[in-house]
Structure 1
Amino acid sequence: MAEEMTSTDDKLNAVYRLTRGLAQQMEKARIAEYTELLRSPWRLIWLNIVSGMARGLGIALGFTFFAATIIYVLQVLGALNLPIIGDYIADIVRIVQHQLELKTF
């Protein structure tokens, strides 16, 4: 009979450890916060709007920085007067500058 109690206690301890591990993993995954967010659709919409605007602003700033860097490098390469590449790069820089002058914001 004592052996049955030990076996049952071992099984209960194993179930307890498993349940506790699952609860800790759910806490790490923030399941409760996610389900609470799903219960308030207006908050979910607001968070999506704000995150979309932040993402759009980041893309715009990143592309502007990238394009400015590329144009700067092309201008430096064009100033070196490399025989074939220099003319090609100078044409690209002229086209880009012409497009920038046409657009008035």
Structure 2
Amino acid sequence: MLLSANPVNVQELAGLRRQVTLLAETLEKMRLAEYIAYLNRPGRLLWFNFLVGLVRGLGTALGAGLLAGIAYFLLKRIVVLNLPVIGGLIAELSKYVNQP
């Protein structure tokens, strides 16, 4: 039995065609095929994640070192001001930092 080409079926087919076209465009924008190909290569996935972890760790270490250096520099400047309570505390901290 053949379906007749009545207006309801034609409108439904046109709506489905638009939705399928929209879905195809969305999947293309998401680059889903490239992502699936990336996931199917576990060696490359592991290597990439390893490198990202190294860069994050290096950035964290450099950032923490920079902030600690700035804090130490500012604390040494406060010692020069000769504030009674804070100056003594910072001088003692400076002794610990300068120990070998």
CA 1:83/1:43 → structure 2, altered by over 3 Å: closer, same or farther?
A: same
Gaps of 5+ in 1: none
Q: Which position in structure 1 is the counterpart of 2:87?
A: 86
Q: CA deviation at 1:35?
A: 0.8
Q: Which position in structure 1 is the counterpart of 2:57?
A: 56
Instruction: State the TM-score, normalized to the length of structure 2.
Output: 0.77
Instruction: State the TM-score, normalized to the length of structure 1.
Output: 0.74
Runs of 4+ in 1 over 6 A off after TM superposition: none
Listed one character per residue, the Cα deviations across residues 19-67 of structure 1 (whole Å, up to 9, x for unaligned) are 2332333233332222101111111121122112111111111111111
Q: In 2, Cα distance between the equivalents of 1:81 and 1:29?
A: 61
Q: Does 1:8 align with 2:9?
A: yes
Deviates more, 1:11-20 or 1:78-87: 11-20
Sequence identity of aligned pairs in percent? 36
Choose between structure 1 and 2: higher helix proportion: 1
CA 1:5/1:94 → structure 2, altered by over 3 Å: closer, same or farther?
A: farther
* Aligned partner of residue 81 in structure 1, secondary structure: coil
**RMSD across aligned C-alpha pairs, in angstroms?**
1.9
Q: Which position in structure 1 is the counterpart of 2:98?
A: 97
Aligned pairs, number: 96
Gaps of 5+ in 2: none
